[in-house]
Structure 1
Amino acid sequence: MRLRAGVLAAGCLLLQAMGVAIFLRGFFPTAVRARPRGGPPGDGPAEPAPPGSGAVSNWSAVPPPLFRRVVLVLIDALRQDFVFGPKGKQFMPYATQVIEKGTSYSFVAEAKPPTVTMPRIKALMTGSIPGFIDVVVNLNSPALLDDNLIWQAKTAGKRIIFYGDDTWVKLFPKHFVEYDGTTSFFVSDFTEVDDNVTRHLDRVLKREDWDLLILHYLGLDHIGHVTGPNSPLVGPKLREMDNILKKIHISLLSKEGEASLPSLLVVCGDHGMSETGSHGGSSEGEVHTPLLFISSAFEKRSGPLTQPELVQQTDLASTLAVGLGLPISRNSVGTLILPVVGGKTMREQLRFLHLNGFQLSRLLEENTPAYEKDD
């Protein structure tokens, strides 16, 4: 009897140890990383070598940019239905008009858990999928060392301005030529946290000394945490965001006659919010966020919006890299969102796909020992 009890106890301990090991394997997953080619972002990744025997070719050279300047507006906790649902039609009339009748492309971007801000910024800018361990460091974000869009833009001489959630300043401490960070800790603040971003707009939109402008608004997220997604405060906040998008879009359009390339306005959320106003999990309201590309380079829409296509949040990094004429981050698992480059010639589109495909195949090859590819 004692022997049976001992065997049973040993078996239970073994199962418990295996359970802990499986949990830790999922909580601390093996990151998908390319082998360093030129060191970390501080030293700069080298261009990918062409496949084959090493013959010189210009196919791997970075194509010229498609847009003169890009404005990225990230509205924290912006749910899909806040833009594409009844609330969008009621409280965001300008965005709805641009989506249905303007020069734009609309998508639903799927964010992978954990749906908290810092891992989502990393996914948007690196094209990689952060792990749950990032939740632990979300409140005290260290500088991001992975290859990323912001570092690539700075290295290429792009002038980047940022206003909003100071998580960006912690992740990219020496990348912005100008910035003003706001803290996200005071969740009862629905107003000043966004006014501190918007107060810069009139001045910066008149200037010509920047190439990439990033705005991260926190007020909607705070409203969700305190009063939930069905709060009467959500509508006025969406209307405020709509007026900001209108101001930016009109300003960009007014200056396009002076430039050889069009501008691009990107609107997205880092994550959504659950029916209780929280986030971090994997419910549909938390993982599905709107993603809008607005530019005079696109064809004007002619009818009401159908159900937007689902893309991955990680696809934004590779798409913006192509749009800005930058190398795709070497650890990116994202794919190019084709409609954004659909106005280019078939040869140019194939070149973009070739670059993206080679970058992904190299990442797969370096992380899968059994992977084989013909030259």
Structure 2
Amino acid sequence: MKVRSSVFASFILICEVVGVALFLRGFFPVPLKSSVSSKSKLSDLPAEPQTGGSPNSSRLPEPLFKRVVIMLVDALREDFVFGANGRRNMPYTRHLVERGSTHSYVAKARPPTVTMPRIKEAEGSLPYLLVLCGDHGMSETGSHGGSSEPEVNTPLVLISPAFKRKVGMEKPGVVEQVDLTPTLALGLGLPISQNSVGRVIPGVVEDSSLRDQLRFLHLNGHQLSCLLRDSTPDYQKEAGFEQFRVAERAHGSWMKLFLEGNTSEVLTNMGKKVLKQYLEAMAAMSAGLSRQLGKYDMYSMVAGTVFVFQLLLVLLLAMPEALSGEASVDLPVLSALLSLPFYLLCLLLASVHVLVCTSAESSCYFCSLSWGLVFAAVAFSSAMFCILVSMAARRLPLWPAIHGKSPSRSGGEWSLSELDALLLAGTVGHTLSLAASSFVEEEHQTWYFLLNTLCLAVFQDVCRKYFREQRRGHGDDEEPILPSKDRRHPEAEAARSEKWLALATPPFTLLCCRLLRSLNQTGVQWAHLPDVGHWLNRLGSPLI
């Protein structure tokens, strides 16, 4: 079946977008969503538990802080503050950690990496809170993006006059980075974000009354239980969910005795036990929710990758025909659909789909599609594979001999030239370089290098073509491709003009590329070097 190259390219592009979208759907898990309104108010919060009486729905702890200032330092490792060189790297911060009114923690950056919440100023005579933290750490070589301890461990220092002064350096506790969200929300008297998976940091609220501490943990536990209920089908089987219900009932019993005026030591011990139950329940629920966010849909990722890879190979094999004078591609669609491998491959892929979707612990996106869409995807992938095999077989040297044809370079054979290999290798290398998270500021340098290398290779190829006087055929009667200088007909003049234009194009492209690089020094490593923008600024921008 012959298809115009424009139609073929458009079809491949659309299918590529579908394949990439399927891969991204598996690579970025769907965020957890709660049924609680995102615009919840303080009046929408759950009532304070109380056994045997009407719940006191209006009772909320007073805010701990008036305003919050967050200082987020990029790639701040925990040993820069808490390590042996902390006094030299950050002397004032280290002094506050050792002698100031602070709480210090090692915050672990685990997926999902969340942006610190946007906080709004409550009125009242309350102290401030200064938060010093890092978004992630870095390895010993200065890179990040992996899962090593120096990359995931960041310092978290909470500074406020509301905290007791330290009397010496203490070993910082370990918390999750996402725990900052509910801690700041409760400290400011605001509802916790409904999709937060963190838990309040106990040390921040430990100076509050026991009743307020229990209320803080109850609000956080209720938010986590609602999120777990809305995102997990079997939420009742989760250990943390049942633990929270037990702690909530114990909290109600404690509240009944508290409101009756009981001030015995038994009430204090009972309250501490309820605190421990709340903390254990929230730790289990937070861990379960974090595991859901950290899961990749491998089946959808593999399906999308295979789909995109098939399309790229078909596009690569069809490129010589698409760029020929006919501007059409001969796709063996009918022969592929009528072949036995097509039906066997459909059966195999359908069996794999059923096996994966019935044995997987959690449902994936591809398994949630209707059987009609799945069958269409299986049939399309099988057809693309058979078409790919047929097109590849036509490029093999044995193909003409099998069909009784003499080999000819004017046919459908395709040889990979040196420039083709260089362009293909450069494209693959540039694509792989985009996966380096620490190289994102300088990824344009790869493009500059490949462009310069390609221009030099083209210049060398043009020089070899026009100055070595390649000859056609074999024997004594071979003649040069280009006319000699002593020929004075118009064809010779046109050939010479074409030769000098071909020779001048690569150096001119290199010159334009150098000018392009001088317009503005982007990135990090060479941003301090002067460029055309600096020159225009020095002249007062007379040309703008």
- Taking structure 2 as the reference length, the TM-score comes to 0.36
Residues 1:74 and 2:72 are matched in the alignment? yes
State the distance in 1 between where 2:232 and 2:111 align.
24
SS at match of 1:282: coil
- Equivalent position of 1:290 in the other structure: 155
- AA at the equivalent of 1:319: T
State the distance in 2 between where 1:92 and 1:358 align.
39
The question of whether the paired residues in 1 share the 8 Å contact of 2:109 and 2:177 is answered with: yes
Aligned match for 1:63, one of 39, 48, 61: 61
Q: 1:50 to 1:349 in 2, by over 3 A?
A: closer
Residues 1:315 and 2:179 are matched in the alignment? yes
- AA at the equivalent of 2:168: G
Aligned match for 1:344, one of 208, 211, 215: 208
- AA at the equivalent of 2:167: S
The question of whether the paired residues in 1 share the 8 Å contact of 2:48 and 2:56 is answered with: no
- AA at the equivalent of 2:109: A
State the distance in 1 between where 2:54 and 2:76 align.
46
State the distance in 2 between where 1:280 and 1:344 align.
38
Structure 1 residue 268 displacement after superposition: 0.3
State the distance in 1 between where 2:96 and 2:23 align.
45
SS at match of 1:272: coil
State the distance in 1 between where 2:149 and 2:197 align.
22
Residues 1:275 and 2:140 are matched in the alignment? yes
Matches within 5 A, 1:195-344: 260-306=125-171, 308-344=172-208
- AA at the equivalent of 1:332: S
Identity of aligned residues (%): 53
State the distance in 1 between where 2:173 and 2:55 align.
35
| 1:314-372 CA-partner distances (Å, limit 9, x unpaired) | 00000000111100111111000011111111111111001011111111111122223
State the distance in 2 between where 1:283 and 1:351 align.
37
| 1:53-73 CA-partner distances (Å, limit 9, x unpaired) | xx9744476533111221111
Structure 1 residue 303 displacement after superposition: 2.2
State the distance in 2 between where 1:47 and 1:35 align.
13
- Equivalent position of 1:164 in the other structure: none
State the distance in 2 between where 1:357 and 1:58 align.
18
Structure 1 residue 304 displacement after superposition: 2.4
Unpaired segments ≥5 residues, structure 2: 1-19, 237-241, 250-544
The question of whether the paired residues in 2 share the 8 Å contact of 1:113 and 1:287 is answered with: no
- AA at the equivalent of 2:193: S
| 1:153-206 CA-partner distances (Å, limit 9, x unpaired) | 44xxx38xxxxxxxxxxxxxxxxxxxxxxxxxxxxxxxxxxxxxxxxxxxxxxx
State the distance in 1 between where 2:229 and 2:54 align.
22
Residues 1:47 and 2:48 are matched in the alignment? no
Residues 1:102 and 2:83 are matched in the alignment? no
State the distance in 2 between where 1:351 and 1:83 align.
33
Structure 1 residue 46 displacement after superposition: 7.9
The question of whether the paired residues in 2 share the 8 Å contact of 1:77 and 1:270 is answered with: yes
SS at match of 2:44: coil
State the distance in 2 between where 1:349 and 1:44 align.
20
The question of whether the paired residues in 2 share the 8 Å contact of 1:266 and 1:292 is answered with: yes
SS at match of 1:86: coil
Q: 1:109 to 1:22 in 2, by over 3 A?
A: farther
The structure with the largest strand share of the pair is 1
Structure 1 residue 80 displacement after superposition: 0.7
Structure 1 residue 25 displacement after superposition: 7.1
- Equivalent position of 2:30 in the other structure: 30
- Equivalent position of 1:84 in the other structure: 82
The question of whether the paired residues in 2 share the 8 Å contact of 1:113 and 1:281 is answered with: no
- AA at the equivalent of 1:355: L
Q: 1:269 to 1:288 in 2, by over 3 A?
A: same
The question of whether the paired residues in 1 share the 8 Å contact of 2:108 and 2:152 is answered with: yes
| Bigger radius of gyration | 2
SS at match of 1:108: strand
- AA at the equivalent of 1:334: G
- Taking structure 1 as the reference length, the TM-score comes to 0.52
- Equivalent position of 2:17 in the other structure: none
Matches within 5 A, 1:168-183: none
- Equivalent position of 1:162 in the other structure: none
